Amino acid sequence: MKKILRRIFLIVSLVLLVLLGLFIYTLMPGNLDTHGAESAHEFVPAVSDAKKPDVSLAILKTGKMISQQMFSWRGGKWGETQEFGMAAILVRHPQATFLFDTGYGKNVDDHFKTMPWLMQKLTTYQKEVAAETQLRYGGIKPYQIDMIFISHSHWDHVSGLEDFPGTEVVMPAAELEFIRQHRYSGLIDQMIDKLKVSTFEFAPAPYENFEQSFDLFKDGSVVFVPLPGHTEGSTGMFVNLPSGKRFFFTGDLTWALEGIQLPAERPWLARRLVDYDEAQVRRSIIKVHYLMKHYPDMVIVPAHDRRVHGKIKAFPEFER
């Protein structure tokens, strides 16, 4: 009997060691294979020399998390922490003023409790000033925000929606369907029926190296493109300023700029917790990787990389 128990113990120990080794392997450097991604190389000139409308943007920082870098992208340093920010992007155009995401809202403490138990245990967050409060102090009242677009429907991007009651919330039809099917339970499930939601479809209009796009004002200043994978309807936003400066906001495609530069995906555990379709995430990352190589001066903005946030003027100042 003792021999049998000893053998079982050895087998279980071996299995655990193998699983531990596999988990550690998923944290090791592992850049994505970019070969065979032909469409990622094909670009359609998107910005003309025509005079651009008076568009400006600013970032509103609403909170942050401190996380281990090794959980952010494959190859992140072990034992090194990094600050990850939550933010809203304010865009002003002659036709409308809108937000892209909201970051943490005023009731973020209650919202945090809607997260899955494991995510709560793995997450530590710090509140800053909610976007609505910052705007109000800067002279912009909630009703003066015409629309709120979301990069996707996870809690840290929609927490501030209820601070703008009655404001139109805009998302791709695919993201609304994703929410309705409860693919990722949480805060948005509690909010969705109380929001004034409208949807759009991406047109078969190539933009840069994307096959589809949605030109919000039909003037090339603000263009949305699909970045599926993290959620079904995850969305990126190009903003092209009169000065010639260009921004591309990529939502949670990656949590840090290194994910685009290398390119590299999140480690296995992070992917299992937050990504709906890992293969789509990889394809989207590779596409943005080639976009960055094609336009080295374009500012690529992952939603949570505070190092990049620090390069964008914070409200009430504006990039123009």
Would the pLDDT of 8 be above 70?
A: no
Nearest to 230 by CA among 266, 203, 199: 266
Give the model's pLDDT for residue 33.
87
Q: What is the mean pLDDT of residues 252-259?
A: 98
% of residues, the chain, pLDDT over 70: 89
Distance CA(66)–CA(47), nearest Å, equals 37
Would the pLDDT of 24 be above 80?
A: no
Give the model's pLDDT for residue 78.
84
Would the pLDDT of 19 be above 50?
A: no
CA 206 to chain centre: 22
Give the model's pLDDT for residue 45.
77
* Number of Cβ within a 10 Å radius of residue 288: 26
126 beta partners: 64
Task: Say if CB 57 and CB 315 are below 8 A apart.
Answer: no
Give the model's pLDDT for residue 22.
44
Lowest average pLDDT, out of 16-20, 207-211, 275-279, 293-297, goes to 16-20
Is beta strand 196-200 parallel, antiparallel or unpaired with respect to 125-127? unpaired
> In the chain, what are the domains?
31-309 (3.60.15.10)
pTM for this predicted structure: 0.92
pLDDT tens digits along 154-170: 999 999 999 999 999 99
Would the pLDDT of 16 be above 80?
A: no
pLDDT tens digits along 76-131: 998 888 899 999 999 999 999 999 999 999 999 999 888 878 777 777 899 999 99
The residue type of 42 is E
Would the pLDDT of 6 be above 80?
A: no
Give the model's pLDDT for residue 20.
46
pLDDT tens digits along 45-86: 777 767 789 999 999 999 999 888 988 999 999 888 889 999
Q: What is the mean pLDDT of residues 237-256?
A: 97
Label residue 27 by pLDDT band (50, 70, 90). Answer: low
Would the pLDDT of 25 be above 90?
A: no
DSSP state letter for 305: B
Nearest to 101 by CA among 115, 114, 87: 87
Nearest to 147 by CA among 232, 187, 89: 89
Give the model's pLDDT for residue 277.
96
3-state helix, strand and coil shares in percent for the chain, rounded to the nearest 5: 35, 25, 40
pLDDT tens digits along 185-196: 789 999 999 999
